[in-house]
């Protein structure tokens, strides 16, 4: 049985869940133009644009002659040739058609037997629950009850049809003013699994980690049933109430383990909902209520035509997306000319009523005032509009400027401002740049709001930052929705770029991911230790669990891939029992030590190992690099090796002018990450200048693709990127502590040592 402890090496490096045959619903704001090879119509649906695309096919926005909008999923022909895939597609169509509920998106048409099978479902122009919570925060209690009651009714209909949805998650619940809609029956199956093992498999985890039941996490196929959907709904409601999943986030196997063994974190859930959610999240499926019982306990009221069950910002999002649909091309005229249509709302009225209720809902605090312009733009008898103001060309900065990580954030802001000043001083500049800053204070709960300050400004062409892993992750949905390029020089959290989860689509990372950085640190230990290393100690401090887990994973792969078995240990958050665990590791005979944790525990580790007389190599990573470790550890820090994605500007002759400008402007030399932020701006400005043609500013949504294909020689080195936006090469620079200071060494090796010696990095993105 595939379990939480059996993840493969590749999955560990990316922390991507086991492949799941489902996808988030495309958002209305994400419409892209049709490509030349796309059809213009499918089975009576005129195609207006692309809502999304992937390896399996394309989802289009389609419209009938009557003005009805639909999401039309079309499978690629090569996929359709596979009998098993066509069977799965047919099963999805049949499952969706069997579910009859006002709270499930209905099937409008389908043809599983077409050369390219297609499925059309009603189009909902609202955001997913996940988008809404990330962008605007948790729902109020009344909204939670209405959300839960509606989704529970949809699941009751699913279960009445003899099915199990198996993927109830925030991305699969769309929000309309008249209530939520459950979508995506791509992995639904019969409640009785007999006869379906050929399609589903008995040892495969199906669902989304963090929103699946213990029986799904342990791949106990025979136990997966309607109660599994109820558990997932409990997770979904906890997320909607608090803004976080009840079993946390992070590595997939850790999520699976917590789902099976830990109690859910329900802090912040309204008291009136706590007993209900605890019942949904019972480990024993038999102890959970049915979806029908749950609907009865939640059904205090229904949304009706008013939108007051949703926060006003969410209603505004629905309104804005519906308004964007008004700009879609009109229906092609028929061959027989018709008289001019009478004045009236027509398609506009249909769009505003999409989902079953008008957006003129006063309770939601938002309404759309639309008029018929009679085809002349509404200019007759009106004053001419004033000329538009010249648009700015703005670089956005999202960073921690006043919180615990302000040293890094402020350094990046200074680097950005110096790069903009240098660009504006050029005699040949094609345009003048401006800077707009959004301070997230290092608080992940402020990450999304800080991002919206920048995404809502049409003059912002790209973002430098975020400076922190988790504010960056919280900001991802806003940046993904806006398709605004995001260049980060310090956020190494692996899930910031993860197309497998449909996120980080616009991120360009100028630093190494944490798991790869740890991989290179392990290579350095093997290559440079004064004595052969056969039993390296590897300690994970769970104070920052995602960061430390990624370091453990990367280092383990580096050691094991070289035939060396590490000695791993874990200490809980706060590094309790750290000294005792380190003593046990030394007694076990470790001959090198890699610290996967933060500066406070690294200080304690340095002092403890020093007191124990440990003489092996000691090495750690990015979140220890800084003055806190030097000050706290004192003499015990001597000899430690620290890796971080920053190069000292003083050793780069290309950075001499930057160093001088920084001293003149700010009265001091540049701090770490200032030079890398400077390079990020010059990279972005260069690609914007290349795309600036015919006097027209480029569409900012085209810039992520251009940046990911770019190479750049900056003052701190050279940069190149792979298709998903991650840095090629190493990106981890090494320092050793000498006389209380970080002494620069070199780039970490990109491969393990060979008998002939340690090779040079194959492709370091930033050379010295």
Residues known to be catalytic: 167
Q: Kindly report whether the peptide bond that precedes residue 143 is cis, defined as omega within 30 degrees of 0.
A: no
8 A C-beta contact, residue 550 and residue 522: no
8 A C-beta contact, residue 440 and residue 447: yes
315's tokens: 């209603």
- Taking alpha carbons only, the member of 545, 521, 583 closest to residue 469 is 545
Measured distance CA(743)–CA(502) in Å, rounded = 40
> Can you say whether the dihedral through the CA atoms of 314, 316, 322, 325 is positive or negative?
negative
32's tokens: 């892209």
The C-alpha R_g of the chain, in whole angstroms, comes to 28
Measured distance CA(707)–CA(715) in Å, rounded = 18
> Can you say whether the dihedral through the CA atoms of 6, 8, 11, 13 is positive or negative?
positive
Q: In this structure, what are the phi and psi dihedrals at residue 746, rounded to the nearest 5 degrees? A: -170, 180
519's tokens: 């991989």
Measured distance CA(685)–CA(707) in Å, rounded = 10
Q: Is 336 exposed, middle or buried (0-12, 13-18, 19+ CB in 10 A)?
A: exposed
8 A C-beta contact, residue 135 and residue 318: no
**Helix (H) and strand (E) counts in the chain:** 24, 24
58's tokens: 């394309």
Ordered DSSP codes for 699-755: PGGGHHHHHHT-EEEETTEEEEB-TTSPBSS---EEEEEETTEEEEEEEPPSS--BT
8 A C-beta contact, residue 23 and residue 57: no
Kind plus residue range of the DSSP H or E element containing 536: strand 536-541
Measured distance CA(323)–CA(216) in Å, rounded = 40
Q: State the helix-helix crossing angle for 545-561 and 469-482, rounded to 10 degrees.
A: 100
- Taking alpha carbons only, the member of 535, 677, 632 closest to residue 592 is 535
Measured distance CA(237)–CA(144) in Å, rounded = 7
User: CA neighbours within 13 Å on the CB side: how many for 263?
Assistant: 5
Measured distance CA(216)–CA(218) in Å, rounded = 5
627-630-634 Cα angle (round to 5): 150
Q: Where are the alpha helices (DSSP H) in 634-702?
A: 656-666, 674-691
- Taking alpha carbons only, the member of 328, 370, 366 closest to residue 345 is 370
8 A C-beta contact, residue 416 and residue 678: yes
Give CA torsion, residues 201, 205, 206, 208, to 10 deg. Answer: -170
Measured distance CA(538)–CA(573) in Å, rounded = 16
Phi-psi category of residue 189: left, alpha or beta, with phi > 0 → left and psi -120 to 50 → alpha: beta
Q: Where are the alpha helices (DSSP H) in 366-513?
A: 406-424, 444-455, 469-482
Measured distance CA(220)–CA(204) in Å, rounded = 9
Measured distance CA(417)–CA(329) in Å, rounded = 42
């Amino acid at each position: 049985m595939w379990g939480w402890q059996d993840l493969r090496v590749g999955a560990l490096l990316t922390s991507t869940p086991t492949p799941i045959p489902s996808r988030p619903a495309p958002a209305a704001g994400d419409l892209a133009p049709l490509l030349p090879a796309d059809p213009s119509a499918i089975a009576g649906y005129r195609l207006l644009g692309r809502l999304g695309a992937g390896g399996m096919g394309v989802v289009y926005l389609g419209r009938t002659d009557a003005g009805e909008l639909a999401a039309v999923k079309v499978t690629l022909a090569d996929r359709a040739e596979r009998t098993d895939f066509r069977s799965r597609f047919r099963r999805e169509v049949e499952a969706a058609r069997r579910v009859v509920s006002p709270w499930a998106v209905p099937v409008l048409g389908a043809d599983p037997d077409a050369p390219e099978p297609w499925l059309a479902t009603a189009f909902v122009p609202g955001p997913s629950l996940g988008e809404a919570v990330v962008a605007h925060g948790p729902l109020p209690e009344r909204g939670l009850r209405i959300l839960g009651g509606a989704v529970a009714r949809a699941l009751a209909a699913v279960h009445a049809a003899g099915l199990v949805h198996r993927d109830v998650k925030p991305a699969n619940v769309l929000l309309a003013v008249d209530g939520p809609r459950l979508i995506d029956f791509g992995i639904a199956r019969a409640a009785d699994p007999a006869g379906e093992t050929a399609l589903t498999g008995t040892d495969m985890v199906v669902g989304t980690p963090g929103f699946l039941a213990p029986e799904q996490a342990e791949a106990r196929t025979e136990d997966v049933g309607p109660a599994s959907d109820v558990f997932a709904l409990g997770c979904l409601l906890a997320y909607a109430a608090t803004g976080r999943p009840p079993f946390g986030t992070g590595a997939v196997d850790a999520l699976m383990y917590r789902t099976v063994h830990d109690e859910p974190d329900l802090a912040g859930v309204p008291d009136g909902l706590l007993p209900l959610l605890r019942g949904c999240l019972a480990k024993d499926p038999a102890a959970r209520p049915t979806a029908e019982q749950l609907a009865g306990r939640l059904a205090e009221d229904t949304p009706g035509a008013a939108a007051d069950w949703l926060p006003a910002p969410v209603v505004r999002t629905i309104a804005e997306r519906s308004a964007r649909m008004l700009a879609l091309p009109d229906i092609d005229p028929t061959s027989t000319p018709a008289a001019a249509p009478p004045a009236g709302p027509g398609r506009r009225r249909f769009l505003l009523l999409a989902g079953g209720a008008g957006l003129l809902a006063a309770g939601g605090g938002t309404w759309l005032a639309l008029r018929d312009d009679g085809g002349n733009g509404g200019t007759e008898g009106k004053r001419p509009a004033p000329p538009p103001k010249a648009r700015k060309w703005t670089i956005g900065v999202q960073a921690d400027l006043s919180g615990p990580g302000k040293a890094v954030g402020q350094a990046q802001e200074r680097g950005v401002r110096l790069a903009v000043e240098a660009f504006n001083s050029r005699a040949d500049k094609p345009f003048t740049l401006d800077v707009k800053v959004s301070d997230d204070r290092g608080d992940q709960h402020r990450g999304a709001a800080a991002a919206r300050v920048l995404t809502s400004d049409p003059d912002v062409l790209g973002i430098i930052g975020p400076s922190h892993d988790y504010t960056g992750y919280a900001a991802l949905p806003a940046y993904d929705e806006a398709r605004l390029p995001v260049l980060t020089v310090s956020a190494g959290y692996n899930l910031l770029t993860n197309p497998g989860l449909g996120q980080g689509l616009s991120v360009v990372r100028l630093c190494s991911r944490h798991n790869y950085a740890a991989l290179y640190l392990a290579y350095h230990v093997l290559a440079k230790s004064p004595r052969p290393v056969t039993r390296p100690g590897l300690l994970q401090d769970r104070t920052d669990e995602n960061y430390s887990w990624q370091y453990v994973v990367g280092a383990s792969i580096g050691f094991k891939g070289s035939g060396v078995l590490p000695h791993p240990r874990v200490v809980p958050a706060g590094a309790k029992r750290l000294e005792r665990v380190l003593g046990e590791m030394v007694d076990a005979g470790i001959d090198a030590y890699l610290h996967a944790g933060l500066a406070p525990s690294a200080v304690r580790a340095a002092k403890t190992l020093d007191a124990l007389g440990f003489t092996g190599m000691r090495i750690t990573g990015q979140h220890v690099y800084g003055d806190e470790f030097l000050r706290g550890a004192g003499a015990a820090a001597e000899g430690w090796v620290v890796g971080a994605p920053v190069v000292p500007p003083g050793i780069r002759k290309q950075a001499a002018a930057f160093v001088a400008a920084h001293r003149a402007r700010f009265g001091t030399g540049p701090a770490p990450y200032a030079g890398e932020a400077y390079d990020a701006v010059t990279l972005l400005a260069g690609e914007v200048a290349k795309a600036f043609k015919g006097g027209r500013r480029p569409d900012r949504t085209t810039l992520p693709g251009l940046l990911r294909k770019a190479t750049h020689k900056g003052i701190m080195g050279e940069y190149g990127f792979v298709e998903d936006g991650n840095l090629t090469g190493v990106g981890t620079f090494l320092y050793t502590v000498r006389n209380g200071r970080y002494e620069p060494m070199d780039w970490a090796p990109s491969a393990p040592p060979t008998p002939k010696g340690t090779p040079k990095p194959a492709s370091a993105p930033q050379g010295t």
